[in-house]
Amino acid sequence: MEDTGKKSTRNWAATPSAFQRFLDWLDEGIPSNGEKYLEMRRRLVRYFEHKNCLTADDLADDTLNRVTRRLEEEGAITNVVPAQYCYTMAKFVFLEYTRRSRVEATSADAEIESLPGKSGNAIVQASDSNGELLECLEYCLQQLTSANRDLILEYYRGELKEKIQQRRQLADRLELSANALSIRACRIRDELEACTRKCSAGE
């Protein structure tokens, strides 16, 4: 299965004949009227949920789409059980997901640390000369749910070494992987930053 995970299917859609070929391959000669497909999808969703992926359904669909494309390109996939092949493909999809998550999290940290008037504790500190921005941040924090507000404040609190330890403890407490926690914090940060910009602009 060389380069299994390297071909993106984002701009590729299965034709009816390609999808039928995939269904027949999953059935292994015993027609199931699509039940094998539905069961395989459910299993993949559980796999990605167990990995604490926030988009388990999308990742399962991506996995199946990649397998469908490979089957269409190769004409046949032999010497491997369909379920095993799908799980192998899912591992590649998960690796790509974690790489993207790290990049997004790193970018989010850099952006929020560089907000005007912010120091190392980006969300919870503001300089005296930037009182208006501080007021906007405080206002926007109050617009978050209490759970999201607590998470984002704790996520960005402290200096580098302290942050690493606090984030590890936060992830454990929320029963999330480090990647899942980073993605959740990134999304809250985006919401908070958008609100702050609107507030600062008087919108």
* pLDDT at residue 161, as a whole number: 65
* pLDDT at residue 201, as a whole number: 75
Residues 85 and 129 in one domain: no
Among 149, 130, 159, residue whose Cα is nearest residue 195:
149
- Quickly count: other Cβ atoms within 10 Å of residue 189's Cβ: 21
* pLDDT at residue 109, as a whole number: 53
Residue 103 dihedral angles phi and psi, to the nearest 5°: -65, -45
- C-alpha to C-alpha distance for 113 and 157, rounded to whole angstroms: 11
The verdict on residue 138 lying in a domain is yes
Residues 14 and 77 in one domain: yes
Among 133, 139, 126, 144, residue whose Cα is nearest residue 189:
144
What is the number of residues in the chain?
203
Residues 91 and 165 in one domain: no
Residues 118 and 86 in one domain: no
Residues 89 and 148 in one domain: no
The verdict on residue 36 lying in a domain is yes
Greatest C-alpha distance within the chain: 73
* pLDDT at residue 3, as a whole number: 43
Residues 92 and 118 in one domain: no
* pLDDT at residue 172, as a whole number: 87
Residues 196 and 157 in one domain: yes
Range of the domain at 141: 114-200
The verdict on residue 103 lying in a domain is no
The verdict on residue 183 lying in a domain is yes
pLDDT per residue, tens digit, the chain (203 aa), is 444 444 444 556 778 888 899 999 999 889 888 899 999 999 999 999 888 887 788 899 899 999 999 999 888 888 889 999 999 999 999 988 887 766 555 555 554 444 443 433 444 444 334 556 677 877 888 888 888 888 888 887 766 667 777 888 888 888 887 777 877 887 888 788 788 878 877 76
* pLDDT at residue 10, as a whole number: 52
The verdict on residue 107 lying in a domain is no
The verdict on residue 109 lying in a domain is no
Q: How many domains is the chain built from?
A: 2
* pLDDT at residue 85, as a whole number: 93
The verdict on residue 135 lying in a domain is yes
* pLDDT at residue 83, as a whole number: 93
Query: 193: Cβ–Cβ under 8 A, 6 or more apart, which residues?
Result: 111, 112, 115
Among 151, 122, 150, 147, residue whose Cα is nearest residue 137:
122
Residues 128 and 178 in one domain: yes
Query: Rounded to whole angstroms, what are the CA distances from 11 to 8, 65, 67, 74, 167?
Result: 8, 11, 15, 19, 36
Both structure tokens of 111: 């952006």
Residues 70 and 118 in one domain: no
Residues 17 and 88 in one domain: yes
The verdict on residue 102 lying in a domain is no
